[in-house]
Amino acid sequence: MSDINLVKSFSLPAVFRAAVRFVRRETVLTIAVSLAAISAFFVRPSAAYVDYIDFKVLACLFCLMSVVAGLRRTGLFDRAALALTRYTTSVRSMAFILVGATFFVSMAITNDVALITFIPFSLLLMKDIRNAKTRMKIITLQTIAANIGSSLTPVGNPQNLFIFSFYRMNASAFFPAIGPIVLIGAAGLAVALATISDEKLPSIKSGHNYGSSWKLMLSYAVLFILSVLTVFRFVDWRLATAAVVLFLAIFDRAVFRRVDYSLLFTFAGFFIFIGNLQNMSEVSAFLTSVVGRNVTLVSALASQAISNVPAAILLSGFTKDAEALLRGVSIGGMGTLIASLASVISFKFFTRERREDTMKYLGVFTVWNGIFFLILYAASAILYRAV
């Protein structure tokens, strides 16, 4: 009997601590599943729940995440990042290269992967920079560049992929809806970079040694093209998913462990929650009325509290204005630290290296993100008459 009590006394706190760690690590997933579970009390679970879930979106996300994880494992992105910075000698020129590279690369490999690739190199290159604010400013501008640049393509970030698929948008509607905002954001980044001090940069060499074959890189490149064609509906998503799964199972099973499955379950949770809300007539009518007043502003502000991916999924159920929603969650990626989950990646990398500057970094981050939020929303209001 004493043994049983001993097990209970140790197991319950251990389980509780594990649960707390999980919630902290997967906060958005926890919220999505909790909302889905709560809504199930109001709309009885049935076979209709399956219809809520957009399996094509989940399949496209899985394919893109898998292929990009595979390409990253080959060292292709790290080698490219090192090559981009090999011939720069000043802080300002390095900042232009790193921020510019992050901006353009994020369009293809998503904002989070771009930051995972470039932020560690940036911190390595800047470890001997005397001006701490310059270091914080460059990391912040890289983060903003990833969030703005990734907005230009359907595969640049999860919310774009969702909106493009959910509304069955085409290129002729997608690019004009967001292109001008991205161009204005790029101009703003150039102006901000021009204000960086131009001190000398010490020479840094990478210690990485990559042994991956070019055949594997080429195979992943082909799969990436296949995944992009799937997003644009040139290839059936079932065929693309089967091809990716089969390739990984035969040639690179380790990639299965690198896929962000929590993001997939987060999407599924929000799909169920939104589906149930739409079946609550009074709630649905209220949310439709609120969102309809100004889709861009509501989605941009909602992103500040719940981040732009959940905001896109949540509000899609209550507006037919895909273009305004796209602009809103793209602009909403600027602002608070959690407005875009990709921003948390930069924060974690920076605080791991410079923990003593955490609060100062948050200050610099918030100021610059606030400036870009206001500029881009004002531009959207003028260009698209969103006010």
* Confidence band for 387, pLDDT divided at 50, 70 and 90: very low
Residue written as token pair 């895909």: 322
Task: Give dist(CA 21, CA 1) in Å, integer.
Answer: 31
* Confidence band for 259, pLDDT divided at 50, 70 and 90: confident
Is the pLDDT at 301 greater than 50, yes or no? yes
Q: Tell me what pLDDT residue 309 has.
A: 87
The pLDDT mean for the chain works out to 85
What percent of the chain is modeled with pLDDT above 70?
A: 93
* Confidence band for 6, pLDDT divided at 50, 70 and 90: very low
Q: Tell me what pLDDT residue 244 has.
A: 95
Task: Give dist(CA 169, CA 176) in Å, integer.
Answer: 12
> Could you tell me if 53 and 263 are in contact, meaning their C-beta atoms sit under 8 angstroms apart?
no
Distance of CA 372 to the CA centre of its chain: 18
* Confidence band for 136, pLDDT divided at 50, 70 and 90: very high
- Assigned token pair, 207: 């210690």
- What would the mean pLDDT of 251-266 be, rounded to a whole number? 88
Is the pLDDT at 1 greater than 50, yes or no? no
Q: Tell me what pLDDT residue 143 has.
A: 96
309 CB-contact burial (10 Å; exposed 0-12 / middle 13-18 / buried 19+): buried
Give residue-wise pLDDT tens across range 334-363: 998 888 878 888 888 888 778 888 889 999
Task: Give dist(CA 333, CA 105) in Å, integer.
Answer: 17
> Could you tell me if 112 and 69 are in contact, meaning their C-beta atoms sit under 8 angstroms apart?
no
* Confidence band for 212, pLDDT divided at 50, 70 and 90: low
Q: Which of 74-78, 109-113, 383-387 has the highest mean pLDDT?
A: 109-113
Is the pLDDT at 210 greater than 60, yes or no? no
* Confidence band for 2, pLDDT divided at 50, 70 and 90: low
Cα 207 to Cα 98, 102, 124, 331: the distances in Å are 19, 21, 11, 37
* Confidence band for 323, pLDDT divided at 50, 70 and 90: very high
- What would the mean pLDDT of 225-235 be, rounded to a whole number? 89
Q: Tell me what pLDDT residue 4 has.
A: 52
Task: Give dist(CA 26, CA 258) in Å, integer.
Answer: 16
Is the pLDDT at 78 greater than 80, yes or no? no
Is the pLDDT at 298 greater than 90, yes or no? yes
